[in-house]
Amino acid sequence: MVRSAFTALALLAVCHAVGAAPTAEVVTPSFSFADWVEGIIANPQGDHLTPEQAIEAFNASRNSTSSSEHTKRGPLDKRVPSCNEQPNTEVPIADAVACVNFLAAKGQTACVCNGFAQFCQIGQGIIDGNSGSKRTTSACNDVARAGGLILDHCTRADNTVQGSEFAYGNGDMLVRIHNLR
Ligand SMILES: *[C@@H]1O[C@H](CO)[C@@H](O)[C@H](O)[C@H]1NC(C)=O
Ligand SMILES: *[C@@H]1O[C@H](CO)[C@@H](O)[C@H](O)[C@H]1NC(C)=O
């Protein structure tokens, strides 16, 4: 008895000496919609959080992480989406997340925008592209990437979102999440 207890203590001491990671320290994972989109794009057939699970994870992390942490994430980390630039067109995040998921799942499918194009409508959520007088094309998953960033930066305390950001790598296509006016 005494001996084995001593052995256990000794082992603990050794573990500590070699710097084993302390297991009791829990770091609350922060959630990013942009990272979620990247996961879908990287491995389309893999197991991903459903839109509902993604919102749950977001809910769980939103109060425990600083928003500045989210601003460092995603493929367009130098960009900051414009939020709330169309007052009174915000949409419930569940609808916006469902649209982002839909577009991420389309992968390399072309999302073509000839001035204006609506890429998704689910519930009150609309994701569209705006390209002025130009015709431009992005992979739909690059539209989804912009959507993920908008969700990360523009989601409001009342669980709605509205904002715009350029499709990944395409400064000609402004992607907007909003509601029908
Ligand atoms: C997330 O939180 C909001 C309120 O804070 C709640 O209305 C919503 O149902 C939650 N969603 C999920 C999927 O947990
Ligand atoms: C986060 O904080 C807000 C306001 O402080 C509160 O209304 C909401 O219920 C909290 N959400 C979670 C998931 O703790």
Instruction: Kindly report, residue by residue over 76-95, the tens digit of the pLDDT.
Output: 456 689 999 999 999 999 99
The answer to whether 91 and 178 are in contact (CB under 8 A) is yes
- pLDDT (0 to 100) of residue 123: 96
Tell me if 18 is assigned to some domain: no
CA–CA separation, 100 vs 161, rounded Å? 12
Tell me if 13 is assigned to some domain: no
Cα 122 versus chain centre, distance: 18
Q: Per residue in 32-68, pLDDT tens?
A: 999 999 999 999 888 999 999 999 999 998 766 554 4
- pTM (two decimals): 0.77
* Cα distances (Å, whole numbers) of residue 153 to 77, 118, 168: 11, 22, 16
* CA–centroid distance, residue 63 to ligand 1 (Å): 12
Mean local confidence (pLDDT), 119-147: 97
Tell me if 93 is assigned to some domain: yes
- pLDDT (0 to 100) of residue 78: 60
Residue nearest ligand 2's atom 3 by CA:
63
Residue nearest ligand 1's atom 9 by CA:
56
Between strands 110-122 and 160-161, the pairing is unpaired
Tell me if 79 is assigned to some domain: yes
Ligand closest to CA 62:
2
Q: Is 64 in the pocket of ligand 2 (CB under 6 A)?
A: no
Ligand closest to CA 60:
2
Ligand closest to CA 98:
1
What is the total count of domains within the chain? 1
Q: Per residue in 111-131, pLDDT tens?
A: 999 999 999 999 999 999 999
3-state secondary structure 89-134: CCEEHHHHHHHHHHHHHCCCCEEEEEEEEEEEEECCEEEEEEEEEE
Tell me if 12 is assigned to some domain: no
Share of the chain above pLDDT 70, in %: 74
Tell me if 9 is assigned to some domain: no
Give the structural domain span for 150.
30-178
Closest CA relative to residue 168, chosen from 40, 71, 77, 89? 77
> What is the overall mean pLDDT for the chain?
84
Mean local confidence (pLDDT), 94-98: 98
- pLDDT (0 to 100) of residue 14: 41
Q: Is 59 in the pocket of ligand 1 (CB under 6 A)?
A: yes
